[in-house]
A and B are shown apart, each in its own frame.
Chain A
C-alpha cells in the first residue's frame, strides 16, 4: 500500500476467517464489517467516536471501529461479537453472565460491551469494581444504567456479585 490510492486490496482476518476485499479508502472499518461483510452484530451509535457501540478487538485490543478506516484492517486480526459463540451453539461464560444478571435490555450496546469485557477479563482476571466501571467508560448504554453490566462482569470473573448492594447484604 505504498502509493496513495483511493482503493486498496485489503487482506484481513475476522473471527479467524481470512478475507480479501478491494475497499475504498474512505470506508470506515465499521461499515466494512457491517455492510461489506454483513456482520451485523457490531453497531453504530454516534458520529464522533464517543459511544463505543462499534467496539471490536483489533489484534486483541478493544478499539472503536468507527474511528478506523477499513484499509487499516490490512494484516490485522479482528474479533467481533459473532466470535463469542458458535452458530447453533451455547453462549459462552461471559454471555451467560450477561443473561443471568440482566445486563441486556435493547441490545444495541451489548456487542461492544461484550468485546470490552472480554478484553478486560483477559488482561485482568479479577478486576475490582472501580476498574470495571472505568473500563466501561468508553461504552455508552442508555437502557441499563450500567449497574447490571458491572454485575455481569463480576459474575463472569467468578467474583461475588456486589455492585449496587449494601455491604451487609452481601453473601
Chain B
C-alpha cells in the first residue's frame, strides 16, 4: 500500500484569528445572492394580505366574493376559514396568559393596525394588490390602548377575552435581601421612571416566503428568510396539523434579520394554507410598510419605582424596581423576555440585592419580536442609567464609580446573585482603553472651554454585556411545564468522493459570515487552507444537520455553530487518521493532517492525500479491514451541547447563558442650546468577545450594533397615536433609519478575554448589547450638568433635549436621594 506524493506538504499557520476574506462576498458583490424574493416557482401566485386599519376592532364580516371574481385571482383566505382549519399557535406563557389565541390570520377581532384579516393569491403582484382592495371587511371599532401602564389600569379595553386582562405574564424576581439593603444603605436613590422606547433594527430585506404545498407528496416546501426555521416548524406543525418532517425549509441568503425574522411563522402558515387551497405555490414578499406596522418591534419597557441602595464609598448594593414590558397584541417569542433579562440581572456590576417585579403587558400595537439584544438591552440600559444617575446625584466620578462596581479582572469566573456565571472579562481595562482612545482628558478640557457658548459638550460612558448561548431551561422559570432545556447546534463535515471537504450547518446566517468562520474552524482542525473548505450556503432541512434550537439568533454562533463545526471536523479528522494509520501501518497518534494529506509525523514521504482516504472508504472498500470499514463513513455529524443544567424554578437560580461578551462605549456630543440638536463629535467602542475568530468580522458587528443603538438613541422610534392607536411612523418616510451621515466614523478597540467554557475560547457577540443607548443618555446627562433635568428615556431627539435643557424645574428632575444621617 504505497502512495505517490509529488510534493512535500508544508506547515501552514492557523486560520482562526485571521481576518480571512469572506467567501460569501463573491456572490453577494455580483448580485448573485439567492434571497427569498429571488425564488421563482412554476405556477406561483402572489400573496397580498388584507390588513386592519384599526388598532382594535371586532371583525363583523369579511366578504371576498368581489375579489374572487376578478380575473387572475387564484384563491382567498379568511380568518373564519383559518379558525376551522387550524388550532391556535402554541403559547409559551402559562395560564392565564397562555390562553391567548393566535392564528395565522386574525379571528374575530383585529388587535393592532396591520393585523392581517384576509389574504389573496393572484397571478401577479399588482393583481393581488388590486384584489386585496376588493375584499370588503366590516369592522366595529373598539377602544384601543397603546400604553402599557394604561393597559393594566382599571377599565382598560381588553385585547384577549380568554385572558380577561392585558397581562400576558407576571412574576417577581428576587435575590439577595433587597429589604435589608434599602434599610442599611447610606443613601437610597429613588428614580420615578425610566423608559426604554419602541424601535427595531428594520433589516433592509423584509420578510418573504415562497411556499409550495405539494399535492403529490404532501411535503410543504418553504423558501423563506425565517431565521429560526425549526422554531417556526414546531409552532406551525400542531397549528396546521402536519408533521415537522413534512416541512422542508430552505434559505440561502437573508438580508439581515436581527431577531425580527424569528416570528414570521404566522404569515408563513397563512401562505401554506393558501398554497394548499389553490394547489399552487404562494409567493409572499412583505412590503416595508407592512414590516414596520405588523412584523415585529423591539420590546418597550417602562421601569418605575426604582430604588437604589448605595454606600458612601460608592458601592451600589442593588436595586428594586417594577418593569412593564409592552409586548404588543400577541406573544410570539414572549414571554421569554420575562426571564431573559435575568441572564444579566446585575448588569455589568457586582450588585448583590436585586428585586424586579416584571409584567408582560398586551397592547394594541405590533407584536414584539426578539429584536437585537432582546430583553437584555432593556435591562442593561436601566442599570447603566441607574449607575450614571447615582454618580450625578451623589457626586461620584462616573469613571471611578463604574470601576468600583465592575467585577475586577481577578474575580472571574464571577457568579451573579441568580447563579449566572460571567465567564471572563476585564471591564476596568476596557474602560481605560476607551478613555485613552477617545482622549477623554482632552475632551474634558474642550468641554470646559465651550461653557456659555450656546453649545454644550457632554461626555458619556456606557457599559453593556452581550450574553450568548442561552440555556433554554430558563423558559421553565416562565412556565414550569415547558419541556425545554440546554442548547445545541449541529453540523456535518464530510469528505466528498474525491476528498473534498464539505460542511453544512444548522444556522441560518443573515450576513454574519458563517461560511467563512466555519471554514476557518474546520480548516484548522483538518490542517488545510480555508479556501479548501466548501461550506454549503444557507440552510436546508433536507440536507443540513439541525436540532430544535437551530438557527441564527441570540449571539451564539461563534460558540454553538463553530463548536458543532469543530466537533464534526474532529470526528472526521479521527476517521481520516484511522484510515491512514491502517493503510500506512502505524498508530493513529502518529498521523498528522497537513496540507490535504494524512501523513506520518517525522516521515513526510509516507502520506495519503484526502482523495486517497475518500477512495478507500467510498470506492475501494474491500481494501480496508472490515473492522475499520465498519467504523468510518467520512460523513460526520456532531451536535455541540453546552454544559447546562436545568435552572431551579423555585429560587429562579441557575446558569442562563454560557458566555458574556462585553462592550464599553464612550461618546462625546455637542448640543445646540437653541434647538436641542445633538451632534456626535467622537465615538469609541471597545469590545471583548473572547477569542476573535475573524477580527474583521467582529469589528463589522461592533460597527453595525453601534449604528443600531445610535439610530435608536437619537433618530428612530415607533410612535403611536394615543387616542386611535394608529402607527404614525409607518414606513421609512417617518421612521428615520440611520444614514451614513448619522452614524459617526467610530473608533474601535478590543481586548480578548477567552472564555474558559467554550470549545474555541470565543463568545457570541453579534447582538452587541445596545451600549449606545446608555452611552448617549450619559453624554446628554453630562451636558445637562449638575442640577440639570434627568435623562429618563432611551430616545432623545432634538425636541426632547431642548425640553430637558430649558425645563430644569423640580418636576423634570425625576430623581431623589434619601440619606441616612
Residues of A within 8 A of B (CB): 24, 26-27, 31, 34-35, 38-48, 50-51, 53, 80-82, 84-85, 91, 95, 98-100, 102, 104-111, 114, 129, 133-134, 136-150, 163-166
Contact = CB atoms under 8 A, between A and B. Distances in A.
A104 B740 contact: no
B126 A24 contact: yes
Interface in B475-523: 510-513
Contacts of B25: 95, 98-99, 104, 107
Contacts, number: 193
A98 to B, nearest CB: 6
A140 B733 CA distance: 13
B513 to A, nearest CB: 7
Nearest to B739: A137
A144 B26 CA distance: 17
B295 interface: no
B739 A107 contact: no
B745 A129 contact: yes
B195 interface: no
Contact of B255 (A91, A106, A129, A138): A106
Contacts of B613: none
B715 interface: no
A138 B30 CA distance: 21
B31 A108 contact: no
B511 A106 contact: yes
A102 B696 contact: yes
Given A46-B732, A102-B699, A163-B745, A145 B704 contact: yes
Contacts of B737: 50-51, 140, 142
Given A142-B203, A147-B703, A149-B740, A108 B29 contact: no
A78 B437 CA distance: 45
Given A105-B513, A106-B203, A106-B510, A47 B289 contact: yes
- The number of chain B residues touching the other chain, given as a range, is 35 or more
A95 B29 contact: yes
A95 to B, nearest CB: 4
A137 to B, nearest CB: 5
20 contacts: A40-B38, A41-B33, A45-B206, A45-B255, A46-B288, A47-B289, A50-B731, A81-B30, A99-B29, A107-B29, A107-B33, A108-B255, A133-B745, A134-B741, A143-B704, A144-B707, A145-B703, A145-B706, A145-B707, A145-B743
A51 B22 CA distance: 25
Given A102-B22, A104-B25, A145-B707, 14 more contacts: A45-B255, A48-B288, A85-B29, A107-B24, A108-B205, A108-B255, A109-B204, A111-B31, A138-B739, A139-B740, A143-B704, A145-B704, A145-B705, A146-B740
A142 B204 contact: yes
Interface string B742-764: 01011110000000000000000
Q: Which of A27, A114, A146 gathers most chain B CB within 10 Å?
A: A146
Given A41-B30, A134-B741, A142 B202 contact: yes
Contacts of B126: 24, 26-27
B704 to A, nearest CB: 5
Interface string B696-737: 110110011111100000000000000000000001110001
A136 to B, nearest CB: 4
Q: Which of B22, B25, B289, B510 gathers most chain A CB within 10 Å?
A: B25
Q: Which of A102, A136, A145, A149 gathers most chain B CB within 10 Å?
A: A145
Contacts of B696: 102
B746 A81 contact: no
Contacts of A164: 703, 745-748
